[in-house]
Amino acid sequence: MAGEERRFKIGYALLPKKENSFIRESLVNQAKSRGIDLVKIDRERPLVDQGPFDCVLHKLYGEDWKSQLEDFRSRNPGAVIIDSPDAIERLHNRISMLQVVSELKIENQSETFGIPKQIVIYDQETLFDKQAWELLKFPVIAKPLVADGSAKSHKMALVFNHEGLNKLKPPIVLQEFVNHGGVIFKVYVVGEYVKCVKRKSLPDVSEEKLNSLEGSLPFSQVSNLATHEKSDDKYYKMMHLEDTELPPQSFMTDIAKGLRRAMNLNLFNFDVIRDTRFGNRKEREVVVVEKH
């Protein structure tokens, strides 16, 4: 009908957990009010038989899905796919994921950023080779090398000494733990839009506390390190989360822009922590980045 508002149809294909987190009724209604219809893609049917879609928003993996996207793109050259499977797959390896961060060039001269010291362990023999540990000191975070969104890829542990290595199963990434005041900054990127928020994180581990700790702890239990007497709520209240200053928005935008360009992604998020050795002072702020 002449004069009728143009509507856009976005097909989404997400794993159940992500779908439950993101596709809320409020989002669907908000999108609808702005001329956007969010439509769930039926994974039991070929993608090319569905739609038509102006955009396909997905977080699925595998050769079959990749082939379906390529077929859809060839038949719908005007449709937008967010994001390219090839670009997403780069994030499935924690080393290639972080390599791009170390190569970023940011014009902001008043802030500094980087990634923690880390090594990759591919076998049990290297895991206990002290020469492989020259770059690191305890505590370290042990993370699976593969970061594909599966439950297994999220199984991480804080390791306090060599005894704690016994439970680890290579291939893994060992990353030096950086005390960051129990606060993590989550940065969400949608195209040119960048939003930074504060969240509770792992408690600091002092040298004194490290001497009394043994083995390792899975992340789900690390919050028990806060103190023996205090509950988690009291500990995080002590961290003054509400008083923690966010990193400068312009700085986060510069990093997001650099990552977006280097990774060829439009929809992603990354974590930032502030090294407590430098406090909350802008002129000496150190930020550590890990992408997801």
pLDDT at 284: 42
The answer on whether 221 is annotated among ligand-binding residues is no
Q: Model-level pTM?
A: 0.84
pLDDT at 92: 82
The answer on whether 224 is annotated among ligand-binding residues is no
In a domain, 281, yes or no: yes
Residues 67 and 170 in one domain: no
Q: Please tell me the distance from the alpha carbon of residue 90 to that of residue 99, in angstroms, as a whole number.
A: 10
Residues 119 and 29 in one domain: no
pLDDT at 181: 86
Domain end among 82, 109, 142: 82
Query: For 184-221, what is each residue's pLDDT tens digit?
Result: 899 999 999 999 999 888 888 888 888 888 888 887 65
pLDDT at 281: 46
Cα angle vertex 177, ends 174, 181, to 5°? 155
pLDDT at 31: 97
Confidence category of residue 4, pLDDT binned at 50, 70, 90: low
Full residue range of the structural domain in which residue 98 is found: 94-288
In a domain, 243, yes or no: yes
The answer on whether 214 is annotated among ligand-binding residues is no
The answer on whether 183 is annotated among ligand-binding residues is yes
Query: For 26-61, what is each residue's pLDDT tens digit?
Result: 999 999 999 999 999 999 999 999 989 999 999 888
Question: Comparing C-alpha atoms, which of 63, 29, 10, 26 is closest to residue 190?
Answer: 10
Query: For 88-100, what is each residue's pLDDT tens digit?
Result: 888 888 887 777 8
* Average of per-residue pLDDT across 65-73: 96
Residues 160 and 130 in one domain: yes
| pLDDT above 90 as % of the chain | 42
Residues 35 and 144 in one domain: no
Residues 75 and 122 in one domain: no
The answer on whether 175 is annotated among ligand-binding residues is yes
pLDDT at 57: 96
The answer on whether 40 is annotated among ligand-binding residues is no
Q: Cis link prior to 54 (omega < 30° from 0)?
A: no
Residues 213 and 277 in one domain: yes
pLDDT of 114 > 90? The answer is: no
pLDDT at 158: 92
> Per the structure, how many domains does the chain have?
2
The answer on whether 162 is annotated among ligand-binding residues is no
Query: For 249-272, what is each residue's pLDDT tens digit?
Result: 999 999 999 999 989 999 998 889
The answer on whether 59 is annotated among ligand-binding residues is yes
Query: For 218-255, what is each residue's pLDDT tens digit?
Result: 876 555 554 444 445 555 555 567 788 899 999 999 99
Q: Please tell me the distance from the alpha carbon of residue 176 to that of residue 24, in angstroms, as a whole number.
A: 37
**Token duo for residue 91:** 């994030």
The answer on whether 279 is annotated among ligand-binding residues is no
Domain end among 53, 82, 111: 82
* Average of per-residue pLDDT across 18-23: 91
Lowest mean pLDDT among 78-87, 113-122, 187-196, 226-235: 226-235
The answer on whether 94 is annotated among ligand-binding residues is yes
pLDDT at 228: 40
The answer on whether 186 is annotated among ligand-binding residues is yes
The answer on whether 18 is annotated among ligand-binding residues is yes
pLDDT at 230: 46
In Å, what is the CA distance from 186 to each residue of 73, 100, 256?
A: 32, 18, 12
pLDDT at 44: 94
CATH number for the domain that contains residue 193: 3.30.470.20
pLDDT of 115 > 60? The answer is: yes
Domain end among 24, 56, 82: 82
pLDDT of 165 > 80? The answer is: yes
The answer on whether 205 is annotated among ligand-binding residues is no
Residues 116 and 47 in one domain: no
Confidence category of residue 3, pLDDT binned at 50, 70, 90: low
Give me the amino acid identity at 166. N
Residues 142 and 66 in one domain: no
Burial (CB < 10 A; 0-12, 13-18, 19+), residue 197, is exposed
